[in-house]
């Protein structure tokens, strides 16, 4: 009886936590599908049919499509560059012999000790000197600065645990060390690479501080900054704001739906092997 009661209590607690976590998201999506004139009048949890006028107004009357494209470009570029650079850096740190390499890899996480505001101010000054102010290239560098350390740390755990015998066998068969890295090491590190890609996407897609300070032009703003500018308007159109927030959250939901197994496997393996 005690075991049954404990299980029931555990299930009830899990259900309550899920409701507490997902209800605001459900309410946001539901409210974005209400007619604007009924947004504050109709508080029912279920209604039909859904109304897409807020989404149409968002796409037609605001700069949301350009902001969406900028966010997609930044996220994709961050994934490609962060995954590529971190794989080379982590592989070199595990295979090359030099003093202090463990300290070097660990020190890359030092940047996470500081809040983003402490990093973005000096970055903004440097980008002005380098001619990258108000540029998506500068924003990409900022996103890499916050995604690369964690990416290197995760992949370092994978490569460190991988026996060098596999690469030696490939090199005996005629592969160079670079060929063994491409054909042997990277395929075996797929969970880690997917985890790094997801983390890089999240950090870039949800970034607000760097995009707010480094980007001034409306046509270069990303989604979080573009949506926040709607909140500062005199005429608050909550239907469009909720629709925009839903479209921001939708890609994250889709990615986790299809990649959560790789994500959990990558985090677990990287933590255990590192």
What domains, with CATH codes, occur in the chain?
61-273 (1.10.3720.10)
Inter-CA distances, 92 with 72, 160, 177, Å: 30, 10, 11
Separation CA 244–CA 242 (nearest Å): 5
Mean pLDDT of 247-252: 85
- Given a contact cutoff of 8 angstroms between Cβ atoms, the answer to whether 261 and 247 are in contact is no
Percentage of residues in the chain having pLDDT higher than 70:
92
Buried-state track 185-194, b at ≥16 Cβ within 10 A, e below 16: bbeebebbbb
Mean pLDDT of 93-121: 76
- The pLDDT of residue 205: 92
**Three-class secondary structure of residue 235 per DSSP:** coil
* Highest mean predicted confidence (pLDDT) among 69-83, 93-107, 153-167: 69-83
Mean pLDDT of 219-242: 79
pTM of the shown model: 0.81
Tell me how crowded residue 104 is: count the other CB atoms within 10 A of its CB.
13
Q: Is the pLDDT of residue 234 over 60?
A: no
Residue, of 3 and 74, whose pLDDT is higher: 74
Residue, of 58 and 274, whose pLDDT is higher: 58
- The pLDDT of residue 272: 46
- The pLDDT of residue 165: 77
Residue, of 139 and 34, whose pLDDT is higher: 139
Mean pLDDT, rounded, of the chain = 82
pLDDT digits (tens, 9 = 90+) for 80-103: 999 999 999 888 888 877 777 777
Mean pLDDT of 237-252: 85
């Amino acid at each position: 009886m005690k075991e049954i009661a404990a299980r029931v209590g555990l299930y009830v607690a899990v259900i309550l936590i899920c409701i507490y976590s997902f209800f605001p998201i459900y309410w946001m999506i539901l409210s974005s599908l209400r007619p604007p004139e009924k947004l504050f009048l109709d508080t029912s949890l279920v209604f039909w049919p859904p109304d897409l006028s807020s989404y149409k107004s968002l796409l037609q009357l605001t700069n949301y499509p350009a902001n969406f494209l900028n966010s997609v470009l930044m996220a994709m570029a961050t994934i490609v560059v962060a995954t590529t650079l971190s794989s080379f850096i982590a592989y070199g740190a595990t295979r090359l012999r030099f003093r202090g390499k463990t300290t070097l890899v660990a020190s890359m996480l030092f940047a996470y000790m500081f809040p983003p505001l402490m990093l973005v101010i000096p970055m903004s000054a440097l980008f002005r000197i380098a001619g990258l102010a108000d540029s998506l290239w500068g924003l990409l560098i900022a996103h890499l600065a916050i995604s690369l350390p964690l990416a290197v740390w995760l992949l370092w755990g994978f490569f460190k645990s991988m026996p060098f015998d596999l690469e030696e066998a490939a090199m005996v068969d005629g592969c160079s060390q670079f060929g063994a890295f491409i054909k042997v090491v990277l395929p075996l590190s797929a969970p880690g690479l997917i985890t790094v890609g997801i983390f890089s996407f999240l950090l870039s897609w949800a970034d607000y501080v760097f995009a707010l300070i480094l980007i001034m032009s409306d046509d270069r703003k990303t989604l979080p900054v573009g949506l926040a500018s709607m909140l500062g308007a005199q005429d608050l159109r909550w239907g469009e704001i909720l629709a925009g927030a839903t479209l921001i959250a939708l890609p994250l939901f889709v990615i986790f739906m299809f990649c959560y197994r790789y994500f959990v496997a990558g985090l677990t393996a990287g933590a255990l092997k590192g």
